[in-house]
A and B are shown apart, each in its own frame.
Chain A
Amino acid sequence: MSSASLGRIAALVLGLAALHWLAPLVLNPYYVTILARIGIAIIAAVSLQLVNGFTGQFSIGHAGFMAVGAYSSAAFSVYLGASVLDSLGGGGLARLAYFPFPLVCGGIAAAVAGLVVAVPALRLRGDYLAIATLGAGEIIRIAILNIDAVGGARGFSLASAAHPSVDLRFESLAGVYGVAVLTIAAIARLVYSGGGLAFRAVREDEIAAESLGVPTTRVKVEAFLVSSFFAGVAGALFAHTEGYIHTNSFSFVRSFELVAFVVLGGLGSLSGAVLAAAVLTALPEGLRGLGEWRMILYSLLLILTMILRPQGLLGQRELLPLGAVRRARSRKGEPWRCLK
């Protein structure tokens, strides 16, 4: 890695560390929650952008994968992690070392769910795929609703009855935004590489790509796998920052919201998804004074944008740093290959 990018990474780490120490001192916990939600929305939107924007597969059940990630990581923490943390003493360093585990667990569980959904669903095209993913998202949600071990209709609290003094919550804004940065980096690297051109080839013309030798089904499944992994991580972060989850947070309304982020930001733009997710998550909170009008304004915005500017905010362009990544990598011209 060049010294320039090492320098950038160092600056980023320092920035996050500063955020970690300063945030609890300066900000009211209510605002910390809002900022955390923005970070999580960014991760979820970016993960969906991979499938919807870059691979052109219209998936509208994404909240289902977030749910799988949230619930599996919560179950991991409550039934496994609590005793581990308890024996480690629960100090700051122990917690820092522990928390990547439930996140990864959530991601992997969601990726498995993604695989289970993708393999049959990807035989379908266009509208039918959209409907199938919607159905899958709902089935996942209703299935979780019926599992009593994770709270069922009551919701699931991140508190272990066996180890009541252990705080399983993960309220570090630095952690959330650190993961967000990692997610964006990973997906940018995946998509803006020679091999990543395969995703966009599938989006542009699947039949042409297939006849040129691009293994389209494998590309689509990979897109689904990676995308649901990060959706699961987003869900896991949600569970650990909120400390309480309920399937109602992962309904198709949530899936629609994510689709809105991706479409309004521009299908095919990572920076667009980030911007749209940040603004559209912050907006209802900022407009809270408007009460019921905020959702009306929100849906009007959606409709007007689609009519007046259907390519969304950024279309397929990227903002400065990601744009540079995109241009740099597309100059390399590597042969077609997928993620190894």
Chain B
Amino acid sequence: MENLLQQLLNGVTWGSIYALIALGYTMVYGVLRLINFAHGEVYMMGAMSGYYTAHWLGLAGAPSVTGLVVVLVASMLVCGLLGALIERVAYRPLRGAGRLAPLITAIGVSLLLQNAGQLVFGADPKFFPPLLRSEEVFRAGEVAISNIQLTVLVTALLLMGALEYIVQRTRFGRAMRAVSYDAPAAALMGVPVDRVIAGTFVLGSMLAAAAGILVGLSNPKIDPLMGLMPGLKAFVAAVLGGIGSVPGAMVGGLLLGVIETLVTGYLSSTYRDAIAFVILVVILLYRPTGLFGASTTEKV
């Protein structure tokens, strides 16, 4: 039983990372109906910018909570800008060009960032400096949680809460919901659609950056190709929860993390990566709109 609890804890912590990345996918899909394949690379850039910031500020040898917060905020700002830039340069010119062209472009941006990353950062893996000294915080029998795991969980939940607040309680959030529901109508009602879309990208990218930092904290190995698999899996999580739905992405991410951990712990890690894709195919076959999504009718 305690083993199961520990595994659930591991799974929820790991899944919160997927949730943060999935939120970016789902929000962009909501407003643009675009699968932003480059999102995984924004996550990677978050980790990388955190790494360089930490070294530049000399935080590498001196773990501290303030240091962590500074690095987190810095990389969120950098990636927010990156997200806005990608939207402006690669996707906005293709607004209205159908579904295919932006998808291909997204793939192109993803490849570009991966390869540019390898060129600029070098292809070797880097090791994120320990911004917090790792220690066991809590123990109930066999179930242990370290301060790092706690930090990841709490930070992720706080960020998700903040996002939910923005989406439900602010004017910008309302504009975002309007655009995802019916963009032309929103435009007619005076909503600055371009700015809302740009803002959506910024928000999503900031969350991805946070995910990158949290991963750097708990699984310190980072490299320019680290965004590929987590990007795809977070995308699966978004589909699982219902693509376009913010609570769906959160639940989907946590659920995927838990399933992956339980399968690895109780069956075999051979299937760790495959599990996400099997879930994908099953969901698409039996409930394509996901757990929280609404079905749409197609008018002819």
Contacts and interface: CB of A to CB of B under 8 A. Distances in A.
Nearest to B109: A303
A302 B119 contact: no
Contact of B115 (A58, A121, A295): A295
**By CB atoms of chain B within 10 A, which of A126, A130, A132, A143 has the most?**
A132
A302 B108 contact: yes
Contacts of A139: 274, 277-278, 281
B258 interface: no
A263 B104 CA distance: 8
A127 B35 contact: yes
B284 A299 contact: no
Interface stretch (B43-51, B90-98, B181-189, B207-215): B90-98
Interface in B256-282: 270-271, 273-274, 277-278, 280-281
A190 interface: no
A296 B35 contact: no
A105 B54 CA distance: 55
Interface string B111-127: 11001101100000000
B interface secondary structure, majority: helix
Interface of B: 33, 35, 90, 93-94, 97, 99-105, 107-109, 111-112, 115-116, 118-119, 232, 235-236, 239, 270-271, 273-274, 277-278, 280-281, 284-285, 288, 298, 300
Interface of A: 58, 120-121, 123-124, 126-128, 130-132, 134-136, 138-139, 142-143, 146, 207, 252-253, 256, 259-260, 263, 267, 292-293, 295-296, 298-300, 302-303, 306-307, 310
Closest 8 CB pairs of A and B: A302-B108, A299-B112, A299-B111, A295-B115, A303-B108, A135-B280, A142-B274, A135-B277
23 contacts: A58-B103, A124-B284, A130-B103, A131-B235, A131-B239, A135-B236, A136-B277, A139-B281, A146-B270, A256-B107, A256-B111, A259-B104, A260-B107, A295-B111, A295-B115, A296-B119, A299-B115, A302-B105, A302-B107, A302-B111, A306-B101, A307-B93, A310-B101
